[in-house]
Amino acid sequence: MATTKTNKIIFWTTTVIIFLMEGVMPALTSQTELAKEGIRHLGYPCYFGNALVVFKVLGALALIIPQIPKRIKEWAYAGFAFDFIFASISHFAVDGMDFQSIFPLLFLGILMASYFAYHKLNPAK
């Protein structure tokens, strides 16, 4: 059984990875031509990418800030889970089975590790 210290390390490591990849990176790169082309390639309208970035940044902040209520964190975890699953489906539908369709599922695994560590550190009362 993992100790509290181990759970804290797992939680913060996985949560920081999600924060950097889903909060910081989209905020810095969303207006690049490569990002816009990625959204178009999948068949989504341009405004969808902008909305997605806003929700990713808000979700990443919700996960990383300790003072955010548990209920909000649960919604952020759910939102990221849907994001990763549907990103995988979108890439699979457009490009077939390749690395781009598997990659979001790797982040789903990281998200799940963060989620389970969070609940071990903050058990329901």
CA–CA distance, 103 with 88 (Å, rounded to integer): 7
Give percent above pLDDT 70 in the chain: 98
CA–CA distance, 17 with 114 (Å, rounded to integer): 10
Report field, pTM of the whole predicted structure over 0.85? yes
45's CB contacts (< 8 A; 6+ apart) are 39
Give the model's pLDDT for residue 1: 63
Q: How big is the chain by its Cα radius of gyration, in Å?
A: 15
Give the model's pLDDT for residue 14: 98
Q: CB of 76 within 8 A of CB of 62?
A: yes
Q: Per residue in 93-118, pLDDT tens?
A: 999 999 999 999 999 999 999 999 99
pLDDT average per 10 residues of sequence, the chain (125 residues) = 89 98 95 93 94 97 97 97 97 94 97 97 84
- Residue found under tokens 């309208």: 45
